[in-house]
Amino acid sequence: MSKTTDFQLEKAYDPTQYEAKIYAGWEQSGAFKPNPKAPKDPFTIILPPPNANGNLHLGHAMYVVEDILTRYRRMQGHKALWLPGADHAGIETQVVYERLLAKEGKSRFDLGREEFYKQVWDYTQSNIGNMTDQIRKLGFSVDWSRFKFTLDEDIVETVYDTFKRLHDDGLIYRGNRIVNWCPFCRSAFADIEVKYREQTDPLYYIKYGPFVLATVRPETKFGDTAIAVNPKDERYAKLVGKEIDAESVLGHTFKIKVIADDHVDPAFGTGAVKVTPAHDPNDWEMGLRHGLEVVPVIGTDGRLLPIAGKYAGMPADEARIAVAADMEAKGLMDHVDMNYTHSVGFHDRCGTLIEPLTVEQWWLRVDELKKPVIKAIKNGDVKFVPERFTKVALDWMENLRDWNISRQNWWGINIPVFYSLSDDKTKPEYIIGTEAEAKKIYGEGNYEAETDNFDTWFSSGQWPFATLMATGDFEKGHYPTSVMETGRDILFLWVTRMIMFGLFRTGEVPFRTVYLHGLVTDEHGKKMSKSKGNVLNPLEMTDKYGTDALRLALTIGITPGNDGSVSERKIEGYRNFCNKLWNVARFILSSLPEDYSPAAPKLHSPADHWMQAKLNAAIKDVTTAIEDYRFSDAGQIVYSLLWDDFADWYVEASKVSPNHDLLVHTLETILTLVHPIAPFVSEAIWSHLPDRDTALITTDWPVVDKTRTPDKAAARHFEELKSVVQAARTVAAEEQLSKPVVLTTNSNLAESADLVKRLARAGDLKLVKEGSGLYLGTTAPAWIEADAALIKARKDRLHRYQAEKQSYAQNLEAKLANAGYVKSAPAAVVQDTRDRLAETQRLLERLGEQLAALEG
């Protein structure tokens, strides 16, 4: 990056004038690439690839966590690699594009499979271009030369190879089992991709021979193959194992078996339920236990099949009403409860009601695959931040069942299977491979390709090793990667599956640490949604307030694993921090002599020793906070160091006796510490510092300089001076005094008279043998000079304030003495009452000390 020799800053910081130029400079300089000459081991993060079907949202801006880690490790001397990419996102992208087609009055069936795929490809490539621009605008220091897309040929080859290895190991099978089917998407989905919500529906009590049983789905009765009761339910004990005669709504009678199963809840309905293995997951499991026939009633289009007779071809919801009406007419309906509330599954992507169906699918056996995952987590090979998610991940893995990895959508990675159409029984039923291999084995025209695609999570679950193998970094020490940062909501969908595939393919976990963040909510803690009108567009916020302000707002106040609130007001507040940093830097640089050349600072005044002590503590604390993944703490420490310590005290003190070297050194250190969070403003200021020949992004992370140890006594003296100044300001403001005279019996304080006068905005500071006036109650004895009238007025005011606070404390004590309040009020409210009482008692103690001093 080019450097400027002019260390004067413009009057105001305008992010729009700097950010794009700075980012281009970083990228052109190769700063984002892992430095092969870096002295420390590789540090690697794989960017969770955003879906290539739209723009980035505020949740994506949480990538700031990864950027903080990458910039920090880069500055520490690691070979830092942050590898970017994008996800084709399978069915989710298909749903998004189909909505666009619907606006034109079209569907994917109008286009045909090939044309649809081509159009979605073009759509995703356009979106990828938009997303990469947005990632750049957010300042993320990813290595663009290594960008990967989940449909890149080399990625797909790795996915195919994994599929074949799994199949060769007997872990892949094709089976006709019940799945979550979306009639709109015409595809199966995993349990975890089904979202449940409460819904009120009619509960039909239908007659089944001697039984009356409750169901919400009378339209599936054509597939009933048993009636089930609980084995401990004495009401039905004599009927278990028998076949009963029942009448069909279609006008004929049939026999149906009564079985006993622990799954049945005796308290639900009448304690007897119909069993439809083809259309209910629990019934499917009962069917397996009891060897029941599976009779499909509903097709993949959501309509009833010919077995339903006159109801065939009707959508399931319409058929439900028609069947119920006919059962009522035939006397087969006992009664209907119209207010039955239950949990109903919907497809997470398109919002369609899920229809459990038995459809032939490709499945992954997980019993053997999950064992090394469980062992790795228990051994600490993968650590979770926060730690509480360790148990969550373990519980999930221990209860994991076989995974349906095939999907029927048209957009995605095609399963590489070819089926034989030949009558030649010496040929295999199917092969895993390429079309050329199929042609060689079966002959021209004697095979057909599988039309199903992989579940998106099957391919993205291989992302860490697939990307690094594709870029050539796998063998260079970048695998296992260092950290995987992502939302806690995809711990099961993605994180655990990456560990499973990583161990299967490489024998090692794919990452050492998993950092999970929560949702980004609005200022009231509510989930952001367009319908609520509380969505913040991250790019609009960066245009308005600068990228650093947004990044600071997403860092400070947000803790691992928990939801974090972000508002425009919060972002605006951190723009003020950036402006403060700029203005402090502008003052320092403008005060430097024209011929100034930086040198190692020397400590002279108590203020110098105090500032150096604060700087050393901040270096240690920020470093520890980042190492411990406490990014909010790291940001808050730097915020306080700049605003509370440097700007408010040391810079002001320097106006009396400037130490240019320490001013520049402190500014430089603050810029370095804040750079991982606020890279643009820190780099912009850095470029104006004198004699800086490298960009801040590649500058070494600061360490405590042990050759410049501050004197503790001198630093303590400045703290005493600070307390006097703060107390004098407070009393002067309360009593409306202009340029008060400060008295002290402390000779050290008197030696700093000019500094105290400036900071306290005092008219004078006098060394006296015995103090009098308004006592300031500080470690270094000090008073504000006052006559009897002023002393009496202050005593009267403090007495009134004391009485007010005593009354307030008595009210709080009475509340806490009320056993009913302590027991019934929320714990947080009770604790707040205790905290307010403790704070009031401390205030009363201080008021007592001040009054005692005035009385004396």
pLDDT in tens, 511-551: 999 999 988 888 888 887 666 778 889 999 999 999 999 99
Which residues are registered as beta bridge partners of 660?
A: none
CB 223 within 8 A of CB 297: yes
Q: Residues near 435 by Cβ (< 8 Å), separated by ≥ 6?
A: 418, 449
> Quick one: pLDDT band at residue 856, thresholds 50, 70, 90?
low
How many CA within 13 A on the CB side of residue 135? 28
Rounded Cα distance between 522 and 528, Å, is 6
Asked if the model's pLDDT at residue 758 lies above 70, the reply is yes
Q: Residues near 612 by Cβ (< 8 Å), separated by ≥ 6?
A: 601, 603, 662, 708, 710, 715
b/e map 484-495, b = 16+ CB within 10 Å: bbbbbebbbbbb
Which DSSP category does 651 fall into? I
Which residues are registered as beta bridge partners of 231?
A: none
Asked if the model's pLDDT at residue 6 lies above 70, the reply is no
Amino acid identity of 537? N
Of 312, 483, 468, nearest in space to 384 by CA? 483
What number is the average pLDDT over the span 259-283?
92
Q: Which of helix, strand or coil describes residue 71?
A: helix
Rounded Cα distance between 332 and 209, Å, is 9
What number is the average pLDDT over the span 637-651?
97
What number is the average pLDDT over the span 391-404?
94
pLDDT of residue 7: 59
Degrees to nearest 5, angle at CA 257 with 342 and 260: 60
Rounded Cα distance between 691 and 403, Å, is 60
601-626 pLDDT, tens digit per residue, is 999 999 999 999 999 999 999 999 99
Asked if the model's pLDDT at residue 828 lies above 90, the reply is no
Degrees to nearest 5, angle at CA 311 with 306 and 316: 100
Q: What is the mean pLDDT of the chain?
A: 93
- At 214, phi and psi to the nearest 5? -100, 140
Amino acid identity of 88? H
Per DSSP, which regions of 56-184 are E strands? 78-83, 85-86, 148-149, 172-182
Q: Which of helix, strand or coil describes residue 605?
A: coil
Which residues are registered as beta bridge partners of 24?
A: none
pLDDT of residue 1: 47
Rounded Cα distance between 22 and 28, Å, is 10
Q: Which residue has the higher pLDDT, 25 or 748?
A: 25
What number is the average pLDDT over the span 741-770?
93
Distance of CA 238 to the CA centre of its chain: 56
How many CA within 13 A on the CB side of residue 806? 10
- Token pair, residue 130, equals 């938009």
Degrees to nearest 5, angle at CA 317 with 314 and 321: 90
Rounded Cα distance between 681 and 683, Å, is 5
pLDDT of residue 466: 98
What number is the average pLDDT over the span 795-805?
91
Of 621, 696, 739, 177, nearest in space to 403 by CA? 177
Asked if the model's pLDDT at residue 428 lies above 70, the reply is yes
Asked if the model's pLDDT at residue 3 lies above 50, the reply is no
CA distances from 292 to 79, 306, 493 (A): 60, 21, 32
CB 742 within 8 A of CB 723: no
Put residue 434 in one of left, alpha, beta given phi > 0 → left and psi -120 to 50 → alpha. beta
Distance of CA 835 to the CA centre of its chain: 32
Rounded Cα distance between 123 and 769, Å, is 83
Share of the chain above pLDDT 70, in %: 99
Distance of CA 743 to the CA centre of its chain: 55
- Token pair, residue 279, equals 């259309």
Which residues are registered as beta bridge partners of 149?
A: 86
- Token pair, residue 357, equals 């169906």
CB 538 within 8 A of CB 366: no
Rounded Cα distance between 385 and 629, Å, is 8
Rounded Cα distance between 592 and 660, Å, is 7
- Token pair, residue 146, equals 């290594």
Asked if the model's pLDDT at residue 781 lies above 70, the reply is yes
- At 616, phi and psi to the nearest 5? -60, -45
pLDDT of residue 5: 42
- Token pair, residue 178, equals 């019940």
Rounded Cα distance between 581 and 670, Å, is 9
Q: Which of helix, strand or coil describes residue 403?
A: strand
- Exposed, middle or buried: residue 204 (CB in 10 Å: 0-12, 13-18, 19+)? buried
pLDDT of residue 531: 66
- Token pair, residue 387, equals 């730690």
463-516 pLDDT, tens digit per residue, is 999 999 999 999 999 999 999 999 998 999 899 999 999 999 999 999 999 999
Rounded Cα distance between 469 and 268, Å, is 54
- In this structure, the number of other CB atoms found within 10 A of the CB of residue 508 comes to 14
Q: Which of helix, strand or coil describes residue 335?
A: strand
CA distances from 845 to 27, 598, 625, 716 (A): 59, 49, 35, 24
Rounded Cα distance between 401 and 575, Å, is 49
Q: Which of helix, strand or coil describes residue 90?
A: helix
Q: Which of helix, strand or coil describes residue 391?
A: helix
Of 550, 580, 588, 686, nearest in space to 642 by CA? 580
Rounded Cα distance between 495 and 514, Å, is 8
Amino acid identity of 856? G
Rounded Cα distance between 367 and 669, Å, is 53
Asked if the model's pLDDT at residue 135 lies above 50, the reply is yes
Distance of CA 417 to the CA centre of its chain: 37
CB 12 within 8 A of CB 684: no
